[in-house]
Structure 1
Amino acid sequence: MAINDPHHNEAESEVEAAAAEEEDTGAQVAPIVKLEEVAVNTGEEDEDVLLDLKAKLYRFYYDGKQWKERGAGSINFLKHKKTEKVRIVMRQAKTLKICANHFVFPSMTVKEHIGNEKSCLWHATDFADSELKAESFCIRFASVDNCKKFMETFQEVAESQNSKKENKDASEAAALLDSLSVNDDQKRETVD
């Protein structure tokens, strides 16, 4: 039984045409330009990641008195291997543009955003735009657990930086006291 449907023959010829296009002709196309692999320095090579979470970051604009989205991506606490200073770095997911880049200092605090358990707020002197600027940040996570992890890590880092600062200050003061000496001439003047 032969099919006399004109649409059937047309559909069959389209399938054959598509199969012919996919057929390997054996031709090889050489690249026009040869690209060499380039080492990219992110500035994070000497740092260990303490925490890495996905989130959306907002920055408060005082001119318009409103929160504006700064970017969505990965936020990291990075601890420098030598200096042990910790900074927060956030990059946008697709472009890897820096949204936040600042150190965590002992005086910094983080608090939960009122009315939203998945968000928290903090203030910092940020360097994301290649200039130091005081900023207010709000960050929103996908889950309450991630928000709690972020806040706990933030507080632990701030407290650890405080104890390191106190130890460093005490060590510097002790070193200065050790370096103090009284000359014999000064002793005689005070005795006379």
Structure 2
Amino acid sequence: MASTNPETKVEEESSEAVATAAAAGEEEDTGAQFAPIVKLEEVSVTTGEEDEEVLLDLKAKLYRFDKEGNQWKERGVGTVKLLKHKQTGKVRLVMRQSKTLKICANHLVHSSMTVQEHAGNDKSCVWHATDFSDGELKEELFAIRFGSIENCKTFKEMFKEVAESQTHKAGEKKEAESAADLLEKLSVGETKEEEKGVKEEEAPASVSEEKKHEDEKKNEKEEQAKPDGEK
């Protein structure tokens, strides 16, 4: 039943007009195309870790000891990794901050390095290193704190295992160098002995040939000195 109230009738007509206009707007296709203001090209990002194998990957908070202020200062919160190079076998410790990915620790793990539990905290440990995170080599005392005792224990065990493996590699390299030197000395000695033997063998032959040549000249002179009848 249609409404007899004029005001109600006007409102209904207005609502129908708005709905019709909206439907027409949705169906209408202007065909306009909008190109992006700035075109971004895809960029390949390299981390420098492409040739390395991840041995350890844990979240932690890193500190460094400030000698001047005689206090610990926070370096960053992020992920600490132990990375082994696929060709050289060397292992380095790298830690990046979570949000900025800024490097806050970057150094090789040597055979002489040791890691110890931080006094009074079984979730933390400390170690000395020659670090390169600031772009230059610096002697640093680091402390790292993990979220659990298990993670701290895993870090210490892996750190020690890597250090021992580097000691083994250094020993093998030293033995290999010693063996190489020994072989070189033996080769040189054998060469000298061979040269000496050759000279000793050649010397009598040279003397014999020279003596034979002298005898021939002597015989010729004697033949020339004889009278014609004796020749």
Above 0.5 in TM-score? yes
- Where does residue 7 of structure 1 map in the other structure? none
Seq. identity, %: 64
Compare the two structures and name the one with the higher helix fraction. Answer: 2
Alignment partners' CA distance in 2, 1:165 and 1:56: 32
SS at match of 2:145: strand
Residue 16 of structure 1 corresponds to none
Structure holding more strand per residue: 1
Q: Hey, what does 1:10 align to over in structure 2?
A: none
- Give, in whole Å, the separation in 1 of the partners of 2:193 and 2:172: 33
Two-structure CA RMSD over aligned residues (Å): 2.2
Name stretches of at least 5 consecutive residues in structure 2 with no aligned partner. 1-21, 198-231
Which amino acid in 2 is paired with 1:72?
V
Question: Relative to structure 1, is the Cα distance of residues 155 and 34 closer, same or farther in structure 2, using a 3 angstrom cutoff?
Answer: same
Give the equivalent residue in structure 2 for 1:50. Answer: 55
Give the drift of 1:184.
4.0
Name 1:121's counterpart in structure 2: 126
Q: Distance in 1 between matches of 2:57 and 2:179?
A: 38
SS in 2 for 1:96: coil
1:41 has 2:46 as partner: yes
Output the TM-score relative to the length of structure 1: 0.81
CA distance in 2, matches of 1:109, 1:44: 24
Tell me the equivalent position of 1:135.
140
Secondary structure in 2 matching 1:171: helix
Q: Which runs of 5+ in 1 are unaligned?
A: 1-19
Out of 155, 168, 172, the position equivalent to 2:177 is: 172
TM-score w.r.t. length of structure 2? 0.68
> How far off is 1:130 after superposition?
0.4
Cα distance in 2 for residues equivalent to 1:163 and 1:108: 14
Between 132-141 and 175-184, report the one with greater CA deviation: 175-184
Give the structure 2 partner of residue 12 of structure 1: none
- 2:151 aligns to what? 146
Secondary structure of 1:169's partner? helix
Provide the aligned length of Structure 1 versus Structure 2: 166
Task: Quote the Cα distance in structure 2 between the aligned partners of 1:102 and 1:108.
Answer: 11
Name the stretch that deviates more: 135-144 or 168-177: 168-177
Q: CA deviation at 1:30?
A: 3.3
Distance 1:117 1:28 in 2: 62
Tell me the equivalent position of 2:18: none
